[in-house]
Structure 1
Amino acid sequence: MFELSGTQIGGWINSFLLPLFRIGSMLMVMPIVGTQLVPRRIRLYFAVAFTVAIAPVLPEMPQVDALSVQAILLIAEQIIIGVLLGLVLQMMFHIFVFAGQLISMQMGLGFASLMDPATGVSVPLLGQFLLMLVTLLFLAVNGHLVAFEIMAESFVTLPVGQALDIGHYTVFAGRLSWVIGAALLLALPAVSSLLVINIAFGVMTRAAPQLNIFTIGFPLTLIMGMIIFWASTAEILTHFQTITSEALFLMRSFTQ
């Protein structure tokens, strides 16, 4: 009669569940897949399918008792790694949302907000447009496949059971500063141009106080802002390539 020992069952469980926690936590946080548009059950099925596909080629997992404190610590560590990897991609997308918010506020479109179906929060019009554009570009260049490849390679470069030292968190926290800087650089040309226009309207108001600046200035600022934003989209692909490369490099460096 074919019998299985508790050690064999525990080994099979460890070889599957420990990678599942890292993969599942990343899929729950990363953009596109980890949004409200994808039900949690579908994300869970996708995580299980991904784990089953790569489990046979993964390094040997540590053999620990499923109810021990060591197992709980390993599970928590895998969840932290997966969440941080997904957070990098999430912040990469929000760079463009933040840039769109800055431009919208400067050109007077701050009141024009849309409900983002992915996050369930109100997002300015230009921020939602840039988010949709970046999502399509990310899928077109197979960025999601590169992210999944980095996740699969992380089990080799950062095996389960290898403790994260302070250097991983230091590198990760230090490089997150590029998020705000990249958003400001992305929005700087449009914001600077709109600032010059607003200064010109201020000079006109001082020169001709009888001029109703609100009647003329608001629609003209809106029109000029749309023209400037349209012209600035010519360089959006260059910014996208730079920011995406930096985000994927940060993911890879974190797991090494």
Structure 2
Amino acid sequence: MECDADDGFGHEGCDGPEGNWACYRGTADNQRVYTIDAPVLELDVTFYLLIMKEALVGLFIGFASYMILSAVQIAGGLIDFQMGFSIANVIDPQTGAQSPLMGQYLYTIALLFLLSTNGHHLLLDGIFYSYQFIPIDQLFVPFGDHTLIEYLAKAFSKAFMIAFQMSIPVVGSIFLVDVTLGILARSVPQLNVFVVGIPVKIIAGLAVIILVMGMMMKVVTQLFNFLLLTMRQLMQLIGGV
């Protein structure tokens, strides 16, 4: 075997079949990667219980997050009721159920706003760091704890208050329009208030929505911050941290 050339990996003498094989062996030894020896999990009852626990925790946190984000649809429902859009509903593509028209519109804008501000990255980080609060080998979780249930009730009530804050400018403005139409109905009995009132309330409601859309996005930002805080505290309560 001749050993005159350099193979480029620091091995001299790689001429001939035997030299090439020796160079290959040396290169493979240098590039060998050693992994951590993880313990082998047995497919016993505990393993399946851990899988069920992870699924329940994910469903629980996901349901709580959806209930908080549904505050946007609640605000849209309150606006629709005042504008007269509650007569016609649209199909929610996520659930297949009927949802208010303005509620679905505001919910779509809120999701687009969340994506544009990279808020979904924070949600993915929350899923990643959830294993710090809820260990993967923790078999039982305190779903029936009164502290957890009480915190969820407070979180949902605060989400409803945020929905009320989003809808109150439009609802209040349309209420003033209703008062004006009521005065006109008493002053001019020949006027058909129902026929005149519906387009007037729709125009007034859309105008107010355009004016307060910036304020609504600020409230949506508060809702997202509250969602992240709620997810963190829920994981702490479930994990017992």
TM-based fold match above 0.5? yes
Note if contact 1:103-1:126 (Cα within 8 Å) is conserved in structure 2. yes
**Aligned equivalent of 1:234:** 214
Rounded Cα–Cα distance in structure 1 between residues aligned with 2:183 and 2:116 = 46
Maintained 8 Å contact 1:201/1:213: yes
- The aligned runs of 1:112-151 (5 Å cut-off) are 112-151=88-127
Match of 1:86 in 2: 62
Query: Any residues of structure 2 matched to 1:50-65 within 5 Å, and which?
Result: 65=42
Please name the residue that 1:98 is paired with.
Answer: 74
1:66 equivalent to 2:43? Answer yes
Structure 1 position 99, deviation (Å): 0.8
**Greater Rg over alpha carbons, structure:** 2
User: Match of 1:177, SS?
Assistant: helix
DSSP 3-state at the match of 1:114: strand
TM alignment of 1:202-217, pairs within 5 A = 202-217=182-197
SS in structure 2 of the partner of residue 187 of structure 1:
helix
Alignment of 1:236-255 (within 5 A): 236-255=216-235
Instruction: Determine if contact 2:173/2:208 at 8 Å carries over to the other structure.
Output: yes
Letter paired with 1:244: F
SS for the counterpart of 1:193 is helix
1:104-135 C-alpha deviation (Å, 9 max, x unpaired):
11011122322232322222221121111011
How far does residue 65 in structure 1 lie from its aligned partner after superposition? Answer: 4.5
Cα distance between partner residues in 2 of 1:200 and 1:179 = 32
Which of residues 126, 133, 143 in structure 2 aligns to 1:157? 133
Matched letter for residue 239 of structure 1 = V
Identity of matched residues, %? 26
The answer on whether the counterparts of 1:111 and 1:124 sit within 8 Å (CA) in structure 2 is no
1:218 aligned to 177, 198, 219, which one?
A: 198
Provide TM-score, normalisation by structure 2. 0.73
User: Displacement of 1:182 after TM fit?
Assistant: 1.5
- The one-letter code sitting in structure 2 at the alignment partner of 1:182 is I
Q: Report if the CA contact (8 A) 2:89-2:100 is conserved.
A: yes
Structure 1 residue 212: deviation in Å?
1.9
Alpha-carbon distance in 2 for matches of 1:182, 1:89:
14
Moved over 4 A (4+): none
CA 1:174–1:64: 2 relative to 1, 3 Å = farther
**TM-fit CA distance, 1:64:** 6.5
State yes or no: 1:197 paired with 2:174. Answer: no
Consecutive unaligned residues of structure 2, counting only runs of 5 or more, are 1-34, 237-241
Offset at residue 136 of structure 1 (A)? 0.6
Which 5+ residue runs of structure 1 have no aligned equivalent? 1-55
State how many pairs are aligned.
197
Tell me the secondary structure at the aligned position of residue 151 of structure 2.
Answer: helix
After superposition, give the CA deviation of every residue in 1:225-249 in whole Å (9 maximum; x if it has no partner). Answer: 1111222212122111100000011
RMSD over aligned Cα, in angstroms? 2.4
TM-score, normalised to structure 1's length? 0.69
SS of structure 1 residue aligned to 2:90: strand
Q: Which residue of 2 aligns with 1:33?
A: none
Kindly indicate whether the alpha-carbon contact (under 8 Å) linking 2:88 and 2:100 is maintained by their aligned counterparts in 1.
yes
Q: Indicate whether 1:184 and 2:160 are aligned.
A: no
